[in-house]
Amino acid sequence: MATVGFEKLTIRVQDNATPTIGKNVFEISGKKDGGATATAKISGLASEPVKTYGSNKPYYVSSKGVGDAKIDLDIIDMPQLVLDAVLGLKADENGVVTATSETEAPYCSVLLEDSDIRGNSVLLGFMSGKFSYDGTDLETLQGKATELKPETISYAVSADDEGRYYTKYVGTTDTAIAAVKTSLGIVAGA
């Protein structure tokens, strides 16, 4: 699958409420002040094969399921509202956010969207997982204009209640695209 970029990231906080943009569904797609996607490094989709030896040779290879899947997302200018929501951070009445020993990131589903070299839509959806954010870098001004640097947020993939880890679709059929979004809870119906 030869994609031509990384156009859009949609995050759904799994809170059992109706999907609502800006409340529990967040889109990062390069719109002004809404953040932009830079890269998504996906790893651990395949389980590690385990060989059983017998009669002086590999007798059986077990490689069922999914490995320790993870996504490192580089996001440019990620909105603070989105970052706080996916990390489980809450603001007080003054808008002050404080992390405590009780702070816990909620489960989220994510959808990565792009197109391939043939013009097909490419959707990679991850059913459930939690975000983590290791920190940020602060640098002094250098007296000249610089590019905005992306920040990395990590997503640890887990299975949903039905044992599903991820889903993907490459094509142009609107019903299939809608089915992927519905399965992730991004649109109502899942």
CA-CA distance, 97 to 110, in Å (whole number)? 24
Instruction: Specify the higher pLDDT residue, 145 or 161.
Output: 161
Concatenated DSSP letters of 107-119? PEEEEEEEEBTTS
Domain ranges of the chain: 8-137+146-183
Q: For position 24, what pLDDT does the model report?
A: 95
If you average pLDDT over residues 101-128, what whole number do you get? 95
Q: What is the pLDDT of residues 30-70, one digit of tens each?
A: 999 999 999 999 998 888 888 888 988 888 888 777 888 99
If you average pLDDT over residues 17-29, what whole number do you get? 95
SS3 145: coil
Tell me the pTM: 0.88
93: pLDDT strictly greater than 90: yes
Burial of 15 (C-beta count, 10 Å sphere; 0-12/13-18/19+) = middle
Q: What is the mean pLDDT of the chain?
A: 91
Only one residue has tokens 């097909």, namely: 120
